A and B are shown apart, each in its own frame.
Chain A
Amino acid sequence: MSGAAETTTDPRALWEEALNSAKLRDVDFTTLSGEELKALYTSEDASFDEERDLGMPGQFPFTRGVHPTMYRGRLWTMRQFAGFGSAAQTNERFKFLLAHGQTGLSVAFDFPTLMGRDSDDELSLGEVGQVGVAISSLADMETLFDGIPLGEVSTSMTINGPAPILLAFYIAAAENQGVAPEAIRGTVQNDILKEYQAQHAWLVAPEPALRMITDMMSYCADRAPQWNTISISGYHIREAGSTAAQELAFTLANGMEYVRRGVAAGMDVDSFAPRLSFFFDSHLDFFEEICKFRAARRIWARKLRDEFGAKDPKSWMVRFHTQTAGVSLTAQQPENNIVRTAYEALAAVLGGTQSLHTNSMDETLSLPTEKAVKIALRTQQILAEETEVANVIDPLAGSYFVEAQTNRLEAEAEAYFQEIEERGGVVPCIESGFIQSEIHRSAVKYQRAVERGDKRVVGVNCYTEEGDGPPEIDLHRIDPAVEREQHRRLGELRSTRDEKGAGEALEAIRAACRDGSNLQARFVAAAHAYCTLGEIAQVLREEFDQYKEPKIL
């Protein structure tokens, strides 16, 4: 056979020939989630109808963003998550952040608070004030926001199992400042489903927990209409080891479950769906993350309009907060984390986030120092002010690669929705450990890929340096005195409050647990009576079923 007969002038064929005969780098060309990638994407890979699949910014299906103006109208909110030690210490950090140009507050609570335990509970030993601020009562909440007008700031509180109780403390603190619930703005995370799946701070079993959530949604629809009642969170699912597609799928499946519960409780979907917001991770795979955000908007819009029959466009919108990936940070050569975080922040912005937290470089070692927190905030400010990326809306739309990956992530999420439905829904998938197992499987797979060297991590399995031992950066430590001081404050509170009033408020909660009346209003009354978090949570533990973790290994 003569060689010249096959010669082609077709550019595509020529390119393929060149690629196939070339020596390529010996690595896996896959996404961070392990998805195979082509070397080149063309119009054949990305089928999309501009009107149907992308739409205009601020219009269905919101693939290009939820606002018509996006960052031309207003930049994203720079919202650094903070909280440590006592309420007074965190109050100082909040004032520091506000003074340096931060535009919203975000509260991190310690594990006892997250688990509904007072600081002086036996199980709280050693944990008080460690990963966040210790809040055991309205008194602590008042100290936390001392000098910060609650009618003016917007506050995000990362709290789940006891979210209704912490929201009650916040409402009561605002009322004591003379601010009505109608005027408060902010978010409680309140996403209990992902707690069972990934983050693991729960109070009671799924069914009573979901009832408390519908009670809160109903209370806020009437009384606190500017409050976002659930921040449906993929962040913890991803940090626990899921892939991007799993983060997307499980988060939206959880979101749809809350919508179903609200509707089943007799609420009109448009009365509460506009107050649902989302919270995603922004990991290191730049394009996969951007596509994940775009896919999330499109999927939710279609589900809410077409399956749940929502009429209000606000019900169709995925408004979301983003945090850069804590798990992507390394203890080795920690300054490199500034660079990782900057790329992740850029992905979040190109994906159209409404607010953003950038991690500090020292977070694999301890809580961030003030210097590290400031660099993280400056990273966002440089992105906003110097890179010019905020000038154009959804600048990557129409890219063959970006549209193909957006389609791929949507399809993977749909496959999971189907599987979850076949397995009886989200709650049965939690009780059987299905979702937890899926996440664990991905975590182990990724860890193996890193250890084989298939996935590379600078400073960990490549470009390591001699003496990558203890890094010489300052650490932020929590003084054990915080725990002792919290014990003292709680003792004082219990000895000075009106005991009879506190006891009655707790009994009113017990009665509501039994007769099905709205719990949220009872929590607010108990907050005003200075009942503690642990006391209120104890009534719920006594009245409701407990959650038992399924064994998945």
Chain B
Amino acid sequence: MTERRIRVLIGKPGLDGHDRGAKTVASVLRDHGMEVVYTGLHQTPAMIAEAAAQEDVDVVGLSLLSGAHMALFPRVRDELTARGKGDVLLVGGGIIPHDDMDSLEGDGFAKLFGPGTPTTDIATWIQEEMEKRFEREGEEA
């Protein structure tokens, strides 16, 4: 059995220019054996969803530090659904108040990671979630 590599898209929606976190996480996920596509800055929700569909990723991670997450994150989710990618593992991080994390986690996001989260925790969490998913897919197939 060949182990399937996890494919991840890291996206920066909106006009926010803070990309240290997104790029650091992208590098660390790559170190953990995942295939990572980084969108670059200043992407609209549609651009991110389009890239996710084209690259056929398993995971979409959004990073936003500008406070626009409540306006933009759900739009990315909607754009993904519109392209038949509503089933990706959708995660996010940035400067996001806990109330907003809770509400996004109840609204299509699997997990929000706050400031100070070790990047290895993010990688491990994604690996564990994806293993569960791959197992389920295996059972169904």
Q: Which residues of A contact B (CB under 8 A)?
A: 111-112, 114-115, 117, 123-127, 130-131, 195, 199-201, 239-241, 327, 330-332, 364-367, 440, 443-444, 447, 450-451, 457, 460-461, 469-470, 475, 477-478, 549, 551-553
Q: What distance in Å separates the Cβ of B30 from its nearest Cβ neighbour in chain A?
A: 8
B97 at the interface (CB under 8 A from A): yes
B27-A366 in contact (CB<8A): no
A195 contacts which chain B residues (CB < 8 A)?
Answer: 17
Q: What distance in Å separates the Cβ of B92 from its nearest Cβ neighbour in chain A?
A: 14
A478-B67 in contact (CB<8A): yes
Q: What distance in Å separates the Cβ of B27 from its nearest Cβ neighbour in chain A?
A: 5
B66 at the interface (CB under 8 A from A): yes
B95 at the interface (CB under 8 A from A): yes
A443-B24 in contact (CB<8A): yes
A111-B15 in contact (CB<8A): yes
Among A126, A127, A443, A470, chain B packs the most CB atoms within 10 A around the CB of: A126
Q: What distance in Å separates the Cβ of A326 from its nearest Cβ neighbour in chain B?
A: 10
Number of interface residues of B (CB under 8 A): 34
Q: Known contacts A126-B72, A127-B66, A444-B24: does B15 contact A115 (CB below 8 Å)?
A: yes
* Interface of B (DSSP majority class): loop
Our count of residue pairs bridging A and B at CB distance below 8 angstroms stands at: 105
B40 contacts which chain A residues (CB < 8 A)?
Answer: 549, 551
Listed A/B pairs (18) with beta-carbon separation below 8 Å = A111-B16, A124-B15, A126-B69, A127-B66, A130-B67, A199-B17, A200-B42, A201-B15, A201-B17, A330-B115, A330-B116, A331-B114, A440-B27, A444-B28, A451-B119, A451-B120, A475-B97, A551-B40
Q: What distance in Å separates the Cβ of B99 from its nearest Cβ neighbour in chain A?
A: 8
How long is the Cα–Cα vector from A330 to B24 in the complex, in angstroms?
A: 17
Known: A126-B14, A195-B17, A451-B120. 9 other contacts (CB 8 A): A111-B16, A117-B15, A130-B66, A131-B16, A330-B116, A440-B23, A443-B23, A447-B24, A549-B41
A126 contacts which chain B residues (CB < 8 A)?
Answer: 14, 67-72
Q: Mark B46-71, 1 if CB is under 8 A from A, else 0.
A: 00000000000000000000111111
A131 contacts which chain B residues (CB < 8 A)?
Answer: 16, 66-67
Among A114, A200, A440, A469, chain B packs the most CB atoms within 10 A around the CB of: A200
Among A111, A330, A443, A460, chain B packs the most CB atoms within 10 A around the CB of: A111
How long is the Cα–Cα vector from A123 to B13 in the complex, in angstroms?
A: 10
**Cross-chain contact of A444 among B27, B44, B66, B98 (Cβ < 8 A):** B27
* Interface of A (DSSP majority class): loop
A477-B97 in contact (CB<8A): yes
B41 contacts which chain A residues (CB < 8 A)?
Answer: 200, 549
How long is the Cα–Cα vector from A364 to B15 in the complex, in angstroms?
A: 19
Q: What distance in Å separates the Cβ of A444 from its nearest Cβ neighbour in chain B?
A: 5
How long is the Cα–Cα vector from A199 to B19 in the complex, in angstroms?
A: 8
B119-A332 in contact (CB<8A): no
How long is the Cα–Cα vector from A73 to B70 in the complex, in angstroms?
A: 49
B66 contacts which chain A residues (CB < 8 A)?
Answer: 111, 127, 130-131
How long is the Cα–Cα vector from A463 to B95 in the complex, in angstroms?
A: 23
B136 contacts which chain A residues (CB < 8 A)?
Answer: none
Q: Known contacts A240-B20, A331-B115, A447-B28: does B95 contact A125 (CB below 8 Å)?
A: no
Q: What distance in Å separates the Cβ of A190 from its nearest Cβ neighbour in chain B?
A: 16
Chain B residue, CB-CB nearest to A475: B97
Q: Known contacts A111-B14, A444-B27: does B72 contact A125 (CB below 8 Å)?
A: yes
Chain A residue, CB-CB nearest to B25: A447
B67-A553 in contact (CB<8A): no
Among B40, B71, B116, chain A packs the most CB atoms within 10 A around the CB of: B116
B106 at the interface (CB under 8 A from A): no
Chain B residue, CB-CB nearest to A470: B98
B70 contacts which chain A residues (CB < 8 A)?
Answer: 126
A239 contacts which chain B residues (CB < 8 A)?
Answer: 20
